[in-house]
Structure 1
Amino acid sequence: MRQSSSPAAPTATPASYAERLGLPWWAWPVGLAVAGLLAAELWLGATGVRAWLPFVLLIPGTVAALWWLGRIRVEVRDGELRVDDAHLPVRHVADVVPLDAAGRREVLGVGADPLAFVVQRPWVGGAVQVVLDDPADPTPFWVVSTRRPVELAAALLAARDAA
């Protein structure tokens, strides 16, 4: 026996693009090694609190700092470009330009626009420049780091055209 289906509640569309701008794998052992060496330097054979306090503070502090550096998420979903806690409706996107490392350096170089919204991570080579078309917003464009600039640009343009 078939059951009639009632209209389903609207569900959020899955992300058409999602990426986390995490640190490269080698940053973790290097950061922890530097923290361990610094803690050993502060310890220098002392007894009491100085024997364990540098290790208790520096190792977890380094882990927290490395996690914090790689926490940024870039997503295109629900008609928005989401970069960390910033949201840009795709209806305001005029154009998207994928950038390699040299292009990003040029856009963010000496002649950069001070009103641009920039989220860049030096360990991520690529980026996209999102040119805006919003008369109410003085921001001319966004520059967002990404490991897959062509895919992000395509997802943004597809979301804009679908909206």
Structure 2
Amino acid sequence: MHDSSPAPAPEARVLYEEKLRPSAWIWLIAVMISSLSILVFVPIGVEIGLIAAVVVFAIIAILLTVSTPRIVVTERTLQVGRAGIERQHVGLVTGYRGEDATHQRGPALHGLAFMCLRGWIDPVVRIQIEDLRDRTPYWLASTRNPEQLVEVLGGTMARDADAEA
């Protein structure tokens, strides 16, 4: 007897991968918030306050770690956080830094755009979606390496596009 099921497709090679981990200052804020819980429990007991601080920090750390999105580009797919799409549906890709990134996250933002933004990461990449079945006009994603992500997806940085015009 032989197995007639098709062979699994070979894994696509990863061209780019990034985890949007919290910055050091976010962890500092987590420590400060958990330290404040000591003040709440000191009237009961110093030991209780210290235990509460450790528990609050552990909860914050778990939430920050579990909610850390990834950007993964393979030869066939693009995954940004919880959204994924085949590369054939990726259109124009543009990276932004500084004021241009702020403008993309604010006044230029389309109401139907998919966003994977992290406040502790300034640069963003805008990825046009060319799938006619999808109402989402584009994805806007935070990235620490917009030049690398844009290069892998065949796009340009906003200043580069302005210089060519």
TM-score, normalised by the number of residues in structure 1: 0.78
What does 1:1-163 align with in structure 2 at a 5 Å threshold?
10-36=9-35, 38-47=36-45, 50=48, 54-55=52-53, 57-69=55-67, 71-157=68-154
The answer to whether the 8 A contact 2:113-2:140 is kept is yes
The answer to whether the 8 A contact 1:19-1:73 is kept is yes
CA gap of 1:88–1:101, structure 2 versus 1, over 3 A, is farther
Structure showing greater Rg = 1
TM superposition outliers: structure 1 runs of 4+ over 6 Å: none
TM-score, normalised by the number of residues in structure 2: 0.77
Structure 2 SS opposite 1:23: coil
Q: Deviations over 1:30-63 (max 9, x none)?
A: 3113312x22111224249955662353122122
Structure 1 residue aligned with 2:159: none
Structure 2: gaps (5+ residues):
1-6, 156-165
* Fraction of identical pairs, as percent: 23
The answer to whether the 8 A contact 2:18-2:72 is kept is yes
Q: Which moved more, 1:147-156 or 1:55-64?
A: 55-64
Q: Size of the alignment, in residue pairs? A: 149
Structure 1 SS opposite 2:154: helix
Aligned residue type for 1:61: I
Structure 1: gaps (5+ residues):
1-7, 159-163
The answer to whether the 8 A contact 1:117-1:139 is kept is yes
The whole-number CA distance in structure 2 between the counterparts of 1:29 and 1:108 is 25
The answer to whether the 8 A contact 2:37-2:49 is kept is no
The answer to whether the 8 A contact 1:20-1:73 is kept is yes
The answer to whether the 8 A contact 1:132-1:141 is kept is yes
Structure 2 SS opposite 1:142: strand
